Amino acid sequence: MEVSGLILIGVFFALLLINLPISVCIGVATLATMLFSIDFMPAVTTIAQRMVGGLNSFALLAIPFFVLSGLLMGKGGVARRLIECAMALIGMLPGGLALVNVLSCTLFGGISGSAVAATSAIGSFMIPEMEKRGYDRNFSSAVTATAATTGMIIPPSNILIIYAIASGGVSISALFVAGYLPGVLVASFLMLVCSVYALSRGFPTEDRLPVKLVAEKVLAALPSLLLIAIVIGGIVGGIFTATEASAIAVLYSLFLSVALYKEVKVKELPDILLKAAGITAIVMFLIATSSAMSWILSYENVPQTISDALLVLSENPLIILLIINIVLIVVGAFMDMTPAVLIFTPIFLPVAESLGMSPIHFGIMMVLNLSIGLCSPPVGAVLFVSCSVAKTSIERMIKPMLPLYCAMFIALMLVTYIPAISEFLPKLFGLM
């Protein structure tokens, strides 16, 4: 087991260092580990079977639909309407523009299911606007990057679907509902940091808009916000499954973008479909190779070994959960969320369950934890997108990111040690 584990880890990081795609690193490392035990053809056949088996799930059909829905929303004028709505509602508060940035990223991330899309769509407008009002460009970029990650927790979220599959069948509906309070908690902590930042520098607040104009802005954004109500309301009400909800989300997004807002032309749809297919292919290949790696880890009894080691290290559940969080934060800084969830869920979920933690609670904790990695160097995709939009560098963003990181970490600790934050809504709706 020790030699196999060293081969797996060694080959994986060696390939990662030469900048190969992470899916290739995972697949080749898994094959190398198998070849240590059996001949070439049986090894290749076994891995192929495990990759196909990892994709043989009805729930995975939701991913291409939610990806397509997010792309349609991103191109269909949703971001601008959400920003205007947020500005009308909270722009007059201390740090108003920064608060609008956080709220817009949270709403758009939740609607599109993509932190990268939220960073690009919201950041391209809000970062220049904040700079005009006196905000430091690097701080504005940091706010956008951290706030965009809340879309990974607030449904519809593809990563929650992937966790549901990796955990062996946790209810996607329960996970979707469970993500709301933690997502709002993270956004609230980020807003608090923004308000303190603005007050300490004496930034002026935005003018309060007339009630009639506020109502107009809210009504303009309401059709976009209804997507969340339709998807979650239908799932909780038992009208359709999460997979069926994803198809309905596409139809609704198509209606908004093409018919109602008229910002997506019919001739643009083939390009959007092609882009959605490309993103889906990347995600599915990652899931396939990660499923094979998860199987070899289980075959080599790695989860049980790590579980035993953690329980020997300490009998205090608080300490063990802190260790798991620290490990996942480090992992999130170097690895994309999809393979991280698929590889580490089978390792850490049994440990969490042995401590009395529910799979729903652990899933939200894990996704929130890895979301921090999305805006952390050296691999954080959202961090790079935010730097590109703001035309700045990661080095300049680190200092203004620190208080925002602290806010996210405090929220993570609260979610970790207070199960009700994740479990209250699922229990309220009878989903767990």
Q: What is the pLDDT of residues 259-303, one digit of tens each?
A: 888 888 999 999 999 998 998 898 888 888 888 888 888 777 777
Q: Which residue has the higher pLDDT, 141 or 374?
A: 141
Please name the amino acid found at residue 381. Answer: A
Residues in CB range of 87: below 8 A, 6 or more apart = 96, 97, 100, 206, 217
Instruction: Write out pLDDT tens, residues 173-189.
Output: 899 999 999 999 999 99
Contact 108, 118 (CB under 8 A): yes
* Percent residues over pLDDT 90 in the chain: 23
Which two three-digit tokens encode residue 114?
């993509």
**Which residue, chain included where needed, has tokens 């090894």?**
43
**Selection from 157, 221, 220, 147 nearest residue 184 by Cα:** 147
- One-letter amino acid at 45 equals T
Instruction: Measure the CA–CA gap between 33 and 251, rounded to whole angstroms.
Output: 44
- Chain segment 16-25, per-residue pLDDT in tens: 888 888 888 8
- Confidence band of 417 (pLDDT split at 50, 70, 90): very high
For 306-354, how does the pLDDT look when each residue is reduced to its tens digit (9 = 90+)? Answer: 777 777 777 788 999 999 999 898 888 888 888 889 888 988 998 899 8
**Could you give the CA distance from residue 90 to residue 196 in angstroms, rounded to a whole number?**
15
From CA 170, how far away is CA 71, in angstroms rounded? 27
Q: Is 148 helix (H, G, I), strand (E, B) or coil?
A: helix
User: Could you give phi then psi for residue 50, rounded to 5 degrees?
Assistant: -70, -35
Res 271: pLDDT: 94
Q: What is the mean pLDDT of the segment spanning 129-154?
A: 87
Vertex 288: Cα angle to 34 and 3 (nearest 5): 25
Confidence of residue 1 (pLDDT cuts 50, 70, 90): low
> What are the counts of helices (DSSP H) followed by strands (DSSP E) for the chain?
21, 0
Q: Is the pLDDT of residue 362 over 90?
A: yes
Domain ranges in the chain?
Answer: 38-428
